[in-house]
Structure 1
Amino acid sequence: MRRYFFLPLTLPFLILLIFLLPILFILFAGTITLAFQKLGLPLPVAFTLFWASLIGSFINIPVKEIRSYGPIVRVAKVSFFGITYPVPYIDWGEQKTVVSVNVGGALVPLSVVLYEVLRLIVLEQNDLLIRVGVAVLISTIISKAFSRPVKGLGIAIPTFVPPLVAALLALTIGAPNRPLVAYTSGTMGVLIGADLLNWDKLKDLGAPMVSIGGAGTFDGIFLAGVIAVLLV
């Protein structure tokens, strides 16, 4: 009977996995910190932003509650000879969807973008500011075209489309500061194109909560900017 029972991971592989986790974490932290440094941020600030993103990924701030009416699944209890059976059925009722914003996956990258844009305004680098605006507009249109609502989950978009688009835009029109154009267009393209422009579809998702940037450091908003910067 032993051949029918086995551990999901063999002991050597489990030990190797435990050994590799710190290394993978260091590589992940170093990659994100490097991306922030390429934006011209000092190492202490870049490292602080990484930890803010990581810790903030556990924090969701509710901003709105959306109410809609539609078919919902309820469960009735039926007793038969003293045994209770759950019987699901379709009913029509009010659905509530709480829309929240994730600190690590949305607010941290948005704060970096706002800082960089304000810096361009203060330094009067209007030409670069216009390039950033054009790149964000193009990235937003493409992100909107590729984003799809997934019922019960949220708004989905192919992972590598936004960073590739942002990197291409940076290489073509971001000559004075390619990392800045890449990060800004990648981050804002997903935030505006995939999330904000699909706001009217959130009520049809059937999810009790939808979080913008909810996957934290693995969310499309966060990764689009970081990967795009690393590509340029």
Structure 2
Amino acid sequence: MGVDRRYIFFLLLLSFLGSYVNIPVVQLPPEKLLTPGIVDFFGMQYVIPDGAKRPGTVIAVNLGGAVIPVILSIYLIVRNRLYLRSVLAVGIVTVAVHLMAYPVPGFGIAEPMFIPPLVTAIVALAVSRDHAAPLAYIAGSLGTLIGADLLNLHRIQGLGAPVASIGGAGKFDGIFLTGLIAVLLAGFMSRKRGRSPGSTS
């Protein structure tokens, strides 16, 4: 995939642990916030944090679901020279994820956790079999962030969510699974080519 094998799972672990860190960016005007509770969405349960002390929804950026994936995606694009192919793959995944994204009152924007990884795997293999692994991570990460979060920021106001995290909660599940699929694709393609174990995945 263009990253040393020794660091792949470290990066995935760092991304997982970083999912608990939200970096506040802006606060929306005051509105009625929903009380803490649990929201069911496509079989997944999400906890609504206590927003009693906040006058309005806080827009935040998730460290593990946005910051780390974006940095790694940019590195993979440059490292593998996947400029045009990345634009194509990210565009397709963005459209697919945006169509699936759904506003959840008291929670924010969410989408089925298995959709981004499945769509990404198909798109990555279709666009470039030789670079399927890095494309899977790039398209899954950026496509999910753009399609689910950035294109739906205008829908946050009025949902009554204490915190709306870009790359967090409902989106992090899909982004994290995309990273795992990218690693599996890298291993599969490596074995298919008959290469002996090397230093990169």
The two structures have a TM-score, normalised by structure 2, of 0.73
What is the aligned partner in structure 1 of residue 199 from structure 2?
none
Tell me the SS of whatever aligns to 2:157: helix
The amino acid across from 1:137 in the alignment is: G
Q: Distance in 1 between matches of 2:179 and 2:34?
A: 39
Query: Residues 22 and 165 of structure 2 are in contact (CA less than 8 Å); yes or no, is this contact kept in structure 1?
Result: yes
What is the aligned partner in structure 2 of residue 46 from structure 1?
8
Tell me the SS of whatever aligns to 2:168: coil
Query: Residues 28 and 57 of structure 2 are in contact (CA less than 8 Å); yes or no, is this contact kept in structure 1?
Result: yes
Higher mean Cα deviation, 216-225 or 49-58? 216-225
1:72–1:132 distance in 2 versus 1, CA, 3 Å: closer
What is the aligned partner in structure 2 of residue 156 from structure 1?
110
1:143–1:133 distance in 2 versus 1, CA, 3 Å: same
Q: Distance in 1 between matches of 2:108 and 2:92?
A: 23
What is the aligned partner in structure 1 of residue 121 from structure 2?
167
Tell me the SS of whatever aligns to 2:29: strand
**Which structure shows the bigger proportion of residues in strand conformation?**
1
> Gaps spanning 5+ residues in structure 2: where?
36-53, 189-201
Report the Cα offset of residue 150 of structure 1: 0.3
Report the Cα offset of residue 63 of structure 1: 0.9
Deviation string for 1:114-158 (max 9, x for gaps)? 1112224xxxx4xx4211110100110111111000010111111
Q: Distance in 1 between matches of 2:8 and 2:157?
A: 37
The amino acid across from 1:46 in the alignment is: I
How many residue pairs were aligned?
Answer: 168
Identity between Structure 1 and Structure 2 (%): 45
The amino acid across from 2:60 in the alignment is: S
> Gaps spanning 5+ residues in structure 1: where?
1-38, 75-93
Q: Which has the higher contact order (CA 8 A, sep 6+)?
A: 2
1:168–1:103 distance in 2 versus 1, CA, 3 Å: same
Tell me the SS of whatever aligns to 2:139: helix
Aligned CA-pair RMSD: 2.6
Query: Residues 166 and 228 of structure 1 are in contact (CA less than 8 Å); yes or no, is this contact kept in structure 2?
Result: no
What is the aligned partner in structure 2 of residue 101 from structure 1?
61
What is the aligned partner in structure 2 of residue 197 from structure 1?
151
Report the Cα offset of residue 185 of structure 1: 0.9
Among candidates 78, 85, 100, match of residue 118 of structure 1:
78
Among candidates 126, 148, 163, match of residue 209 of structure 1:
163
1:218–1:195 distance in 2 versus 1, CA, 3 Å: closer
Among candidates 9, 17, 21, match of residue 55 of structure 1:
17
The amino acid across from 2:64 in the alignment is: G
Q: Distance in 2 between matches of 1:65 and 1:217?
A: 20
1:175–1:193 distance in 2 versus 1, CA, 3 Å: same
Deviation string for 1:49-103 (max 9, x for gaps)? 133223322211101111155x6689xxxxxxxxxxxxxxxxxxx9511011111
1:119–1:154 distance in 2 versus 1, CA, 3 Å: same
Query: Residues 33 and 106 of structure 2 are in contact (CA less than 8 Å); yes or no, is this contact kept in structure 1?
Result: no
Q: Distance in 2 between matches of 1:73 and 1:222?
A: 28
